[in-house]
Structure 1
Amino acid sequence: MLSIGLALENIEHLEERLVAVSTPGNPEYGRYLDRGEMEDFFYPSPEAYGTVIAWLQNAGVEYVSQQGASINFATTISNANKLLDTRFAYYNVDGVQKLRTKQYSVPGEVTQYIHLIHPTTYFGKTRSHKMPEDMIMQSKIAAAPFETNINAATHCSALVTPDCFRNAYGVGHYKPDPDSGSRVAFGSFLNQSARLDDLHLYQSTYGIPLSNFSVVTINGGLDHQDPNGHIGEANLDAQFENAMSYPLPQIQYITGGKPPFIPNLDKPTADHNSNEPYLEYYEYLLNRTNDELPQVISNSYGDDEQTVPPEYAKRVCDMIGLMGLRGITVLYSSGDTGTGASCLSNDGKNHTEFTPAFPSTCPYTTSVGGTQSWGPEIGWRASTGGFSNYFPRAWYQENAVEDYLKHGINSKAKAYYEAGGFTNFSGRAFPDISAHSLHPNYAFFSRNRQGSTGGTSASVPIVAGLIGLLNDVRLRAGKPTMGFINPFLYGIMTKGGSLIDVATGTATGCDGTNSQTGEVLKGSGIIPYASWNNTVGWDPVTGLGMPNFADMAKAALLVAD
């Protein structure tokens, strides 16, 4: 099966439209597009669909389907060779046969309509195609050993329970209206599936009214509910988002499959490919009506930016921007490897450099970093942050990042990083906001047992649930939802002091190990003294700081629509 991503029309106007609907004070603020308006302005013309489909059918392709701005098709190898003027072949890589081609082309009459075709030219040293082990369960820093008989009243400095984070971030006893129209969601990939039984145990233990999340499967995703399957990541997403936002409706989107992949030292073979199939995910979501969609989606996943093909990353980022135009906040965890793990470029030059994480580097996401300790919290040493090598600095963060580069970062460290070419200070800076990650750990349930967990995977559903509450506040006041929230955060929040600044802490990395798993990475790039520092204002460890719901809700109601 091959997929053709058709070229989007008017995509050069995406950002200006997103600025208008997302910036408080703009006359267009909150005037989001519905599906039809989005498709009319940005999606390929009927001529584009017709021309590409006719090209496929004239070449003898019988199995053709359309999904949003993509066309999927299946054909024989010989026909694919003729179609793409190439030669697909089975490459024997570590004893496994993999069908790929080194290059392809399309005829002139369809060139203008095609953005990318995948998978075609991306190779991995495949051994077997299996899902990676449950990283939440095996991580040396993101999951503590399972315990039994944990007291729900344990002090927050020992174990973080719902009352801890609801009080820390100003939610307290606020109760949203389940009929306000505010809906929250989380994405599950890599055969992850949250278990309702575990959610109910979590709810019962911490006095949360019992409720269910609904499930939508995409691209062959499976809601397996298997206590012996991959459930740890999805379970913490379901439980923490629910604990922050109950009784708002909650949706789990389970997406199957894996996308193109470029190996690097941290993910050396296709057997290690844990990149998520983002295109299929967003094609499905954008094809829904606004009434079918949540207004905030938490995603506790991310990839080393350099393992994602640039054109694929650009396409995904544009689709996330379209989600923002629809009034949807898309959040991603920033990562658990500090300044990076492999810290070596995979472009053939083997240049030592920091390793940013995608999709957090997409300027249209809200990237969530992590903190540690309690009362007060400080920057988590493994919170991933930094600057993109793919995307330029975003318009909404220009002042905040410039202030950090002029006053926040140690001048000698900045000069050292610049001289070594370790980072791209002009790139999109991340994270944007943070919440507690680890030390102390979060209480959660998995496999019908109580245990503890953490990481930025835990931070992002907390923030997503809180944004669901902000949407509830605005909807009950007759206002539109927050939508793409970054301009609000960097603008009104920094002026009004409604975020909890995290001015202490340091994130480290690039020391030859993967801080998430504890694995020693032989041959990795070593950057002595590699670190980011916390400071007053924005920094690459915790972004602008942690949320304060009470103050944010007041600011959200004062925004002119």
Structure 2
Amino acid sequence: MYLCSTLLLIASLIVESLTYTHPIPPGWTLHRRADPDTKLLVRLSLVQPNLHNLDAYLLDIADPQSPNYGQHWTPERVKETFRPSQGSADVVRSWLVSNLDAESSTIIQTDEVLSLNVSVAQAERIFTTNYNVYRANNGFERVGCHQGHNFPAHVAEHVEFVWPSLTYGGPRLTRRNSPPTVKGARGPRVVQPSAIDVKHCDDAVTLDCLRALYNFHYDLVAAKRNTVGVAEFGTQYYNPADLDMFFKRFAPDQVGNQPKLISIAGGQLNESDPNLDDFVESSLDLELMMGLLGRKQEVFLYEAGTMEQDPLSDELLGAWDAYYCSVADTSGIGRIARDSASSDCGDAPRANVVSISYTSTPDVRDSTFLPMLQRECTEIGKLALMGVTVIASSGDFGVAFPEFPDTLCLVNDKLEMQAPNSTQSADFVAAFPASCPYVTAVGSTQVSPGKSVRDPETATFAFPSGGGFSNAFVRPRFQNAAVTNYLKHFAPPYGPSVFNRSGRAYPDVSANGCVWPTVVAVAGNFNLTGGTSASAPIFASLITAVNDARIAIGKKPVGWINPALYSPWFVGSFNDVTNGTNPGCGTEGFRASPGWDPVTGLGTPNFERLLANFLLLP
């Protein structure tokens, strides 16, 4: 679930109050006015200095041509560079104090956020707005306000945005469990062990298939000094018995091996969950990553305890960065946050590589989503400054955004529901976090029927791999040559409003994720599943191995890899994919083409070449 934030900007010195209203998001309705006595956590995100320099800071340590390549920042330097000024905090706090009842409200300040526990009635009076209860299509209810928050001009210039305004939804899995042609089908497809043949990777993709496809035959040598993790949300678990079943067949030395659980917001395993589908995502991520890397490498499992957080990675950011945390909510409906004493606040280990197989928020330019998108992407950029590689799946709905069982597209600049097979053309919607330029987005490919691992892969055609152009983030300069080549020679002749030609282009790379050939063990059976959910941990495993090799020779982890991947230094490190499309929004979407394209990115990795090039860097 997501909070639709209100961006507060000063238009002129004579403005006395500012607010941005926005429509209720698709899938939600205004149910009733909120109970005035309901306790509410309101978070005021303070304006941070130096954000306009973030790209320059990152390129200084991530551009292969920079003399400072690989010189990642310490957490303390990141904190001091972007800490909001005390003057800003004092102005906002003073205004709040003058409007609060000291006996029934509390203000808590962290470095980036001022949080207050107040009643709905108090919040409505302070911010001159109305709070309502909104109901989602699935019956979930949430307190928020779509009318925005009002501030005096002298206060508004210090506030970036406010939570809560309104919510959107929950993290969407990017895994496909059933063929879209089978109405109502659920769960992965069971396959008999005798049908799993490593010689036929078009029918069943195993670890050996992936090693052959991507030339990945590497034995870790510095695993104890290296870290990697996968993120799971809500009711997404794994069963140790399933891991052992998978390892017994495909990696016998790993039987008994388990990931290290990092509980966030109460996240735990639930082996007794009767819902088979709740075990597929985590099993897919862990079996692929642990199977490819081997027993030597410990894998962190970041288990966030709810799917109802705002936004997707907010829980992870708070667990990694104490300065991003705030206070615990007491409403029973509002979002859950934490104070500095919480066991989840800043104490989770930061892995060198993190794989995320979820999408969260539509990438659109309106006040419902834009401030949140920008803030979350900025926080990911700060992690990149510290040497963390964030890898995310690009999504499984082509140029549309998932809103199960439908999709979201833009019609007259407004999000509207559309069936995945609709023929009514609409404008494209990118998916966050893949659309963030500080994330390495991974699309999906497959071995064509009747072909082998020696043949070129294609873009998946059992589902449309996510890709396109961001509406919220401009194209980074290191993408210019590759993306301009695509736009000049291969882009379809859509109208100027259909996609943002100047936006951040994604995916960056791709890996096998074809639905129903990827073999996993779930609930005591071997199953076929897939999606870009498989592609992300596959690519993350390869980058983890790159880090292993660099650490072994005294070098640092690669951190933010996107500038390097697009540089001339890495020409020849990828297998170009030139066949396939990613339809959506009533169109064919884009076509795979020579060079970078918005279906498969730069292509699939050739690990030996990728490794050799990264080892040459400082």
Shorter-normalised TM-score: what interval? 0.7 to 0.9
1:549 to 600, 607, 618: 607
* Greater helix fraction, Structure 1 or Structure 2: 1
The 3 A distance-change label for structure 1 pair 242 and 57 is: farther
Structure 2 residue 353 is the aligned partner of structure 1 residue 293: no
- After TM superposition, the structure 1 = structure 2 runs for residues 338-487 of structure 1, keeping only pairs within 5 Å, are 338-340=398-400, 341-345=407-411, 347-348=413-414, 352-373=426-447, 374-375=452-453, 376=455, 377-381=457-461, 382-409=464-491, 413-414=492-493, 417-418=494-495, 421-438=497-514, 441-487=517-563
The 3 A distance-change label for structure 1 pair 47 and 221 is: farther
Amino acid at match of 2:359: G
Of stretches 400-409 and 358-367 in structure 1, the one that deviates more from structure 2 is 400-409
In the aligned structure 2, how far is the partner of 1:134 from the partner of 1:476? 34
- Cα displacement (A) at 1:257: 4.5
- Cα displacement (A) at 1:149: 3.1
Instruction: Please give the root-mean-square deviation of Cα atoms over the aligned residues, in Å.
Output: 3.0
- Cα displacement (A) at 1:358: 1.3
The 3 A distance-change label for structure 1 pair 68 and 453 is: farther
Q: SS of 1:75's equivalent?
A: strand
- Cα displacement (A) at 1:393: 1.0
Which residue of 2 is the match for residue 270 of structure 1? Answer: none
Amino acid at match of 1:82: R
- Cα displacement (A) at 1:191: 2.7
2:282 to 224, 234, 237: 234
- Cα displacement (A) at 1:41: 0.4
- Give the alignment's TM-score, normalised by structure 2: 0.76
Which residue of 2 is the match for residue 519 of structure 1? Answer: none
In the aligned structure 2, how far is the partner of 1:217 from the partner of 1:145? 30
The 3 A distance-change label for structure 1 pair 290 and 160 is: same
1:254 to 303, 307, 324: 303
Do the aligned partners of 2:437 and 2:473 also contact (CA within 8 Å) in 1?
Answer: yes
Matched positions, count: 516
Structure 2 residue 293 is the aligned partner of structure 1 residue 245: yes
Amino acid at match of 2:158: Y
Which residue of 1 is the match for residue 8 of structure 2? Answer: none
Q: Percent identity?
A: 28
2:119 to 66, 73, 76: 76
Q: SS of 2:375's equivalent?
A: helix
1:278 to 304, 313, 317: 313
- After TM superposition, the structure 1 = structure 2 runs for residues 303-322 of structure 1, keeping only pairs within 5 Å, are 303=360, 304-306=362-364, 309-322=369-382
Q: SS of 2:60's equivalent?
A: helix
Which residue of 2 is the match for residue 192 of structure 1? Answer: 236
In the aligned structure 2, how far is the partner of 1:471 from the partner of 1:402? 31
Do the aligned partners of 1:332 and 1:366 also contact (CA within 8 Å) in 2?
Answer: yes
Do the aligned partners of 2:175 and 2:529 also contact (CA within 8 Å) in 1?
Answer: no
Which residue of 2 is the match for residue 34 of structure 1? Answer: 74
Amino acid at match of 1:333: S
Which residue of 2 is the match for residue 25 of structure 1? Answer: 65
Of stretches 223-232 and 331-340 in structure 1, the one that deviates more from structure 2 is 223-232
Do the aligned partners of 2:577 and 2:603 also contact (CA within 8 Å) in 1?
Answer: yes
In the aligned structure 2, how far is the partner of 1:369 from the partner of 1:349? 24
Of stretches 214-223 and 431-440 in structure 1, the one that deviates more from structure 2 is 214-223
Do the aligned partners of 2:320 and 2:348 also contact (CA within 8 Å) in 1?
Answer: no
- Cα displacement (A) at 1:200: 2.6
Structure 2 residue 377 is the aligned partner of structure 1 residue 334: no
Cα deviation per residue 1:255-303 (whole Å; 9 max; x = unaligned)?
245679xxxxxxxxxxxxxx85323322322338899311110000114
- Cα displacement (A) at 1:28: 1.5
- Cα displacement (A) at 1:235: 1.6
Give the gaps of 5 or more residues in structure 2.
1-40, 323-344, 401-406, 417-424
Do the aligned partners of 2:577 and 2:600 also contact (CA within 8 Å) in 1?
Answer: yes
Do the aligned partners of 2:515 and 2:531 also contact (CA within 8 Å) in 1?
Answer: no
In the aligned structure 2, how far is the partner of 1:130 from the partner of 1:331? 19
- Cα displacement (A) at 1:173: 4.5
Q: SS of 2:513's equivalent?
A: strand
In the aligned structure 1, how far is the partner of 2:501 from the partner of 2:509? 19
In the aligned structure 1, how far is the partner of 2:308 from the partner of 2:438? 21
In the aligned structure 2, how far is the partner of 1:532 from the partner of 1:405? 11
